[in-house]
Homo-oligomer: A and B are copies of this chain.
Amino acid sequence: MHGMMMKEPLSIIEILRYAAAAHPGAGIVSVRTEGDIHRETYAEAYARAGQLAHGLARLGVGRGDRVATLAWNGYRHFELYYAISGMGAVCHTINPRLSAEQMLYIIGHAQDRVLCFDVTFTPILEGLAEHLPKDLILVAMTDRAQMPDSPLDLLCYEDLLEGQPEEYDWPSLDEESAAALCYTSGTTGHPKGALFSHRSTVLHAMTVAICLSKSLSEGARVLPVVPLFHVNAWGLPYAAPLAGASLVMPGAKLDGASLFDLMEAEHVTSAWGVPTVWLGLRGEIDKRGRNPEGFAQVVVGGSAAPRSMIEGFEDSGVEVCHAWGMTEMSPVGTHGLLSAEMKVLPREEQMALKSKQGRRLFGVELKIVDEAGNRLPHDGRASGELYVRGNTVVSGYFSNPEASEKAIDAEGWFGTGDVASIDPQGFLTIQDRTKDLIKSGGEWISSIDLENIAMAHPKVASCAVIAVPHPKWDERPLLVVVPAGEAPELAELHEMMLEHVAKWQLPDAMVCVEELPLTATGKVSKLTLRRQFADYALPDAV
């Protein structure tokens, strides 16, 4: 028997429409690529999203079309999120840190019709220009006066909005319609696209707003250092307006000093980002001997937050929330806020809990399994591959049946590629990774891709690329080579790699060995290698 209740589709644009009315004083502060600070309320953003939707419609953007963005965190990027999804198209955020090859691949795979980019990325596009689809419309996210001097055929973002009505007749969409697309690195091969729906996005925003209500409340001022071009800035562009928190968008300057100044000037209460970014900020805090005023909470995720960092913040009165998630989870899966009872535990125990990766959000299910797929107990000891389930988890990858097939287990759960234990209180501890990837400053590097390139070099007999701990980037790639006679130079391998991967993805160092350790089944044992080189001192790791 069904209930007798209305069914209105959950819809992304409703979040902004609500925020515009419910939180009249809240909005977005942006450090612009133009150099100045820009402010707009959610009501203004909603009106401009309406104009933008009209502008995009005039370019021919229709339901289901992909519109790409290549941009820093700023108000125009925020407007694009809402206008594109609101009109029924799909907002495809591109990570500017991808290699040219990867970028071209995803633009082609997504079949983007329009690409909107921050002018700082003009050189990237000029570099790609001859390989870009001929009918791809390029929109520079700036005004007429600041349009870059470029041989490319560019439209101007502000021109698109100019003169358009602020009211847009947002269509009523099936709540399962695609709304946003974000590619994530696979262990090997091409990036894979997570295709979010209106339903998944709205439910994610709601659950984040509930579980992290302390950071996301009316009057809060939240700094997403985590990029809008990667993992949806952890859902903040949706959860913050819903909850009435303002967003402080840092633009391109993410060094410690710039962040400190921005946080202080804008009275940021909660800042969200990967450990690498907070290292820089902590350095600046140490230098000035104080926190930015009003700074009360930091949300750290994307890589394990080192305990020393957690203690550094906590000791100075900044609450640390250690979170875990992944693109395929919209992305937040767990949060590390302590319950009232835990907050009265001795400091050591609290820090131990905060060093773990937190507890599940409402609506997210976690299970760990052994190699045969049997469930393991949540006893804090058993460790196995982590699987997840819920409305905010992908059911596969966009236009990629093969990867989709592999992603989901027989019970319908998504395999995260993380190895974890879960304690009786529900705290997750990420122990290891089954996926052969290295996470540097919050971004992925594929070991296997690098290995495949290196193997093609005549002086390389066999090789492996492994993650080595790095104080700043969390992990960096180390290339372990068995030479075929004379040892190769790292420089010559770099040269070959640069044709396929981005510069920051190159191995930091190379070591030559006589043979690689093997597993029982004769594969290279990355586990043994990682242990062997756990203390390896990378050249720039100070």
Contact B6 A393 (CB under 8 A): yes
Contact B4 A194 (CB under 8 A): yes
Among candidates B2, B18, B196, B425, residue contacting A3 with C-beta atoms closer than 8 Å: B196
A152, CB-defined interface residue at 8 Å: no
Contact B391 A1 (CB under 8 A): no
Contact B200 A242 (CB under 8 A): no
Contact flags A16-34 to B (C-beta < 8 A → 1, else 0): 0010011111100000000
Name the B residues within 8 Å of A207 (CB-CB). Answer: 206
A77, CB-defined interface residue at 8 Å: no
Q: Which of A392-420 contact B (CB under 8 A)?
A: 392-398, 404, 412, 414
The interface-forming segment of A173-181, A263-271, A300-308 is: A173-181
Among candidates B21, B178, B389, B414, residue contacting A426 with C-beta atoms closer than 8 Å: B21
Inter-chain CA distance A5–B179, complex, in Å, is: 11
Inter-chain CA distance A210–B219, complex, in Å, is: 14
A215 to chain B, nearest CB (A): 11
A341, CB-defined interface residue at 8 Å: yes
A64, CB-defined interface residue at 8 Å: yes
Nearest neighbor of A3 in chain B, beta-carbon distance: B197
Nearest neighbor of A340 in chain B, beta-carbon distance: B219
Inter-chain CA distance A513–B211, complex, in Å, is: 61
Nearest neighbor of A404 in chain B, beta-carbon distance: B4
Inter-chain CA distance A394–B177, complex, in Å, is: 24
Contact B426 A4 (CB under 8 A): no
Apart from A4-B404, A24-B341: 14 A-B pairs, beta carbons within 8 A: A3-B198, A5-B195, A5-B394, A15-B362, A21-B360, A22-B360, A24-B425, A25-B339, A25-B340, A206-B206, A206-B207, A210-B243, A214-B217, A218-B340
Contact B2 A177 (CB under 8 A): yes
A244, CB-defined interface residue at 8 Å: yes
A384 to chain B, nearest CB (A): 19
A7, CB-defined interface residue at 8 Å: yes
Contact flags A364-390 to B (C-beta < 8 A → 1, else 0): 000000000000000000000000011
A120, CB-defined interface residue at 8 Å: no
Contact B176 A6 (CB under 8 A): no
A405 to chain B, nearest CB (A): 12
A280 to chain B, nearest CB (A): 31
CB within 8 Å of B: which residues of A? 1-8, 10, 14-15, 18, 21-26, 63-64, 90, 174, 176-179, 194-200, 206-207, 209-211, 213-214, 217-219, 242-244, 330, 339-341, 359-360, 362-363, 389-398, 404, 412, 414, 425-426
Inter-chain CA distance A4–B24, complex, in Å, is: 34
Name the B residues within 8 Å of A339 (CB-CB). Answer: 22-25, 218, 244
Among candidates B64, B219, B390, B404, residue contacting A1 with C-beta atoms closer than 8 Å: B64
- Given known A4-B395, A362-B242, A404-B4, contact A210–B206 (CB-CB < 8 A): yes
Contact A199 B391 (CB under 8 A): no
Name the B residues within 8 Å of A412 (CB-CB). Answer: 6
Name the B residues within 8 Å of A15 (CB-CB). Answer: 362
Name the B residues within 8 Å of A5 (CB-CB). Answer: 176, 195-197, 199-200, 330, 391-395
Name the B residues within 8 Å of A214 (CB-CB). Answer: 217
A415 to chain B, nearest CB (A): 13
Inter-chain CA distance A195–B6, complex, in Å, is: 11
Name the B residues within 8 Å of A404 (CB-CB). Answer: 4
Inter-chain CA distance A194–B6, complex, in Å, is: 12
Name the B residues within 8 Å of A360 (CB-CB). Answer: 21-22
30 A–B contacts, CB within 8 A, in A order:
A1-B63, A1-B90, A3-B178, A3-B198, A4-B195, A4-B396, A4-B397, A5-B176, A5-B197, A5-B393, A5-B394, A6-B389, A6-B391, A6-B395, A7-B395, A8-B363, A8-B389, A14-B362, A18-B362, A18-B363, A21-B360, A22-B211, A22-B339, A22-B426, A24-B339, A206-B207, A209-B210, A209-B213, A213-B217, A214-B217
